[in-house]
Amino acid sequence: MRCRALGRSGLSVSEIGYGAWGIGESAWVGATESESVRALHRAVELGVNFVDTARGYGESERIVGRVVRERSGDEVLVATKVPPKNQMWPAPEGVDPAETFPGEHIRESLETSLRVSGLDHFDVLQFHVWSDDWVGRGDWLETITTLKQEGKIRLFGVSVNDHRPDSALALVRSGAVDSVQVIYNVFDQAPADELLPACAEHGVGVIVRVPLDEGGLTGRITAGTTFPEGDWRGRYFRDDRPAQVERRVAAIAADLGVATDGIAECALRFVLSSPEVSTVIPGMRSVRNVERNTAVSDGRSLTAAQLAVLSRHRWQRNFYS
């Protein structure tokens, strides 16, 4: 497993991290705690040292904490997230930071996360939404500074609103943040326009989520794909969206000259081709997925010609809406 610097923090993170949203029975349909635990253990065995979870991810924090404690001989860095107090995703314009991340809410959420996980600190504490309107306002930064001094967190980050990499530019340039988490993939290449260069300039780590477009860039979503009742992906890939995705992926495969089942590997290598990226955190619920995704960290890169092909497949849309 190859590692990269997490911005200016001094921490070194595995370039393939572990997205822990979908683990445990309370998460995605079909997830089981036993398989999640096996997958997490296998990931650490293969060199993954960065796990991303959140207060809002069901049983995820508890399961992650359990595995980290069971692997006390391995250094595993854990990031979690504070949900907005007003429970509004994404952050709407014009909302005061006192409504989303007042100091007492940040501390209360963190204390709950520590208790649930059984950990004595988190390496990165992230706000689960962000608005640049909050830079220089509210008491959130004072609280973050105090929590760092108390040793309960090491770094501060934000999870950038879906498909809105521009919404954290002022924060990155302010010097107040250590890392940003952002959607970046073959379809949504917008972060490369301004956010990634700004992070490189200001020493901010970049955590990439949704590198496989919630499964769209795996080659397994086709016009006939359906999801079990209760699986949120049924909404993400509703109506004719699976057919749209199938056509787009087929075009990518044809242009690259690869089989559709090789698209996931190409998609991960696309993200890692950006030197500004510190780690990419695909969701992994099984040992098989862990082994396939971690195998991408082998030092091989896409060629300039392949990257040029993928740059033409930018597809700006928001399936979350």
Domains and CATH numbers, the chain: 3-219+271-300 (3.20.20.100)
pLDDT of residue 25: 66
Residue pair 186/267 in contact (Cβ under 8 Å)? The answer is yes
Q: What is the pTM (predicted TM-score) of this model?
A: 0.97
Number of H helices, E strands in the chain: 12, 10
pLDDT of 30 reads: 72
Closest to 192 measured CA to CA, from 248, 93, 262, 270: 270
Cα 83–Cα 89–Cα 94 angle in degrees, nearest 5: 100
| Contact residues for 193 (Cβ-Cβ < 8 A; gap 6+) | 165
CA dihedral 269, 286, 220, 184 (to 10 degrees): -40
Give the Cα separation of 110 and 97 in Å (integer).
17
**Which residue type sits at 59?**
E
Q: Report pLDDT for 28.
A: 66
CA distance 71 to 74: 6
- Dist. CA 269–CA 211, nearest whole Å: 10
Residue-level pLDDT at 24: 72
Provide DSSP, 152-184: SEEEEEEEPPTT-GGGGHHHHHHT--SEEEEE-
Mapped onto helix, strand or coil, the DSSP state of residue 27 is coil
pLDDT in tens, the chain (321 residues): 999 999 999 999 999 999 999 887 655 677 788 999 999 999 999 999 999 999 999 899 999 999 999 998 899 999 999 999 999 999 988 999 999 999 999 999 999 999 999 999 999 999 999 999 999 999 999 999 999 999 999 999 999 999 999 999 999 999 999 999 999 999 999 999 999 999 999 999 999 999 999 999 999 999 999 998 888 899 999 999 999 999 999 999 999 999 999 999 999 999 999 999 999 999 998 999 999 999 999 999 999 999 999 999 999 999 999
d(CA 276, CA 7): 8
Non-local CB neighbours of 272 within 8 Å, separated by 6+ positions: 15, 280, 296, 297, 301
Widest Cα–Cα separation across the chain: 54
The H or E element containing residue 208 is strand 205-209
